Amino acid sequence: MNNQLFINKLSDKVGCSPQEASAIARYIAKAVVEEWQSEGCLCVPEFGNFEVKKKMECVSIDSETRQRVLIPPKLVLNFKPSLALKARMKKS
């Protein structure tokens, strides 16, 4: 399902025009990202948990040249689906 289909589905569900649904979806997405940035996690009941995790620095070695490169630490986003969502996916 691409973004357009998602917007159409959301507009049907909420009962507004696709333009409005698009603006709302964009705003919610922006707020979600801000929440990840400020809190580092977001729990959505019956959907799952988003968590920002720190990926530690590591030394990567080039197998051909044997050159070692220190890869810096990184903050990555993890998503863990809830058990309810997993059960729904298994059913479908």
Q: Which residues pair with residue 59 across a beta bridge? A: 70
Task: Enumerate binding residues for another protein (CB under 8 A).
Answer: 1-3, 5-6, 9-10, 13-14, 24-33, 35-37, 39, 41-50, 52-53, 55-59, 67-83, 85-90, 92
Shortest Å distance, C-beta 15 to another protein: 10
Between 63 and 92, name the residue whose CB sits nearer to another protein: 92
CB nearer another protein, residue 19 or residue 74: 74
17/83 with CB nearer another protein: 83
Per-residue CA distances from 42 to 10, 65, 90 (Å): 21, 42, 24
In the complex, least distance from residue 65 CB atom to another protein, rounded to whole angstroms: 10
User: Residue 15: which region, alpha, beta or left (left: phi > 0; alpha: psi -120 to 50)?
Assistant: left
Instruction: Please check whether residue 20 is in contact with residue 11, taking contact to mean a CB–CB distance below 8 angstroms.
Output: yes
Residue with tokens 């399902």: 1
